[in-house]
Structure 1
Amino acid sequence: MEKIKFVKNGVSNKLPPGFRFQPTDEELVFQYLKCKTFSYQLPASIIPEINICKYDPWDLPGNHGEPDMYFFSAKEAKYRNGNRMNRSTNSGYWKATGSDKKVSVSSSISNGGIAGIRKSLVFYRGKSPNGTRTHWIMHEYRLVSVETTPCNQERHSSN
């Protein structure tokens, strides 16, 4: 059986057959997103960095046989001096749905505080507001805390 290859910056990382990447929300925010944001070493270099809005969901790079795909994507402002995010693609747009979910870090790492937010988005074909809802769902994670403690080190309090 052939090993799966993941390539990042021209360097190939081989993972064993049967490897399944199933991180929790906490792991995605604390061990990957926070590490990526503060340029710490990632636990594994298996999440590619792409501009998510350059692709329609069915054209995203990767193995489409997998139920979940993960990407790092930089925020892109819709307007030069605005705070609204650009979530449109060539054939549609990502629309936020439901309420944001708080992603808490276990008490042993960050005093049980909120580390991030998970926003759910649904893809609509066409132009807003007349788009047609599709079955494509994306979860967008963002950091809330600005603590710069290394990602894989626990913080110990002295009492």
Structure 2
Amino acid sequence: MGGASDLPPGFHFFPSDEELIVHFLRRKASLLPCQPDIIPTILLNHYDPWELNDKALQAGNQWYFFSHATQSRVTPNGYWSSICADETVKSGGCNIGLKKTLVFSIGESSEGIETNWIMHEYHLLDGRKVLNLVTASRPHM
């Protein structure tokens, strides 16, 4: 679990926001099996974004992982901060989740230098806030 090498040959992981919430986050929060069970749970505050290679599921320039909702967004060398209003994620015309966009900054929160690392956190809207599904994007060079 948790790496692109665990995927079958030819497998392409490119889920929509709706699929991430319905097929992965909702099932994981309900303690139901996810099929395929390829997204690991990591402690976000233990890693800077460039350290996710061996920790999260990598698909293209995205890393996918679960993290606990109460966890700090401060890492060893910086922090993640929200950069815009949350987006509502819908399924079948109903609001099912929120998508929060964050940017990584290096340094202390009052003096940090913003990078081009972006993270999206997905939250359920049904009151279960024990787990987030997170995607982090590698900056384009």
**Map of 2:33 onto structure 1:** 41
**Is 1:68 aligned to 2:54, yes or no?**
no
CA distance in 1, matches of 2:39, 2:30: 16
**Is 1:32 aligned to 2:18, yes or no?**
no
User: How many residues are matched?
Assistant: 125
Q: Which runs of 5+ in 1 are unaligned?
A: 1-5, 78-85, 107-111, 148-159
What is the TM-score with the length of structure 2 in the denominator? 0.80
For the aligned residue pairs, the C-alpha RMSD in angstroms reads: 2.3
Larger RCO: Structure 1 or Structure 2 (Cα < 8 Å, ≥ 6 residues apart)? 2
CA distance in 1, matches of 2:58, 2:36: 21
User: Is the Cα–Cα contact under 8 Å of residues 101 and 118 in structure 1 kept in the other structure?
Assistant: yes
Q: Which amino acid aligns with 1:96?
A: S
SS in 2 for 1:99: coil
Structure with the larger strand share = 2
**Is 1:89 aligned to 2:55, yes or no?**
no
C-alpha distance after superposition, 1:73-131 (max 9, x if no partner):
11235xxxxxxxx210000000001110000012xxxxx21100000000000001210
Greater C-alpha Rg: 1
Q: Which runs of 5+ in 2 are unaligned?
A: 129-141
Q: Displacement of 1:15 after TM fit?
A: 3.1
1:139 to 120, 123, 130: 120
Identity %: 40
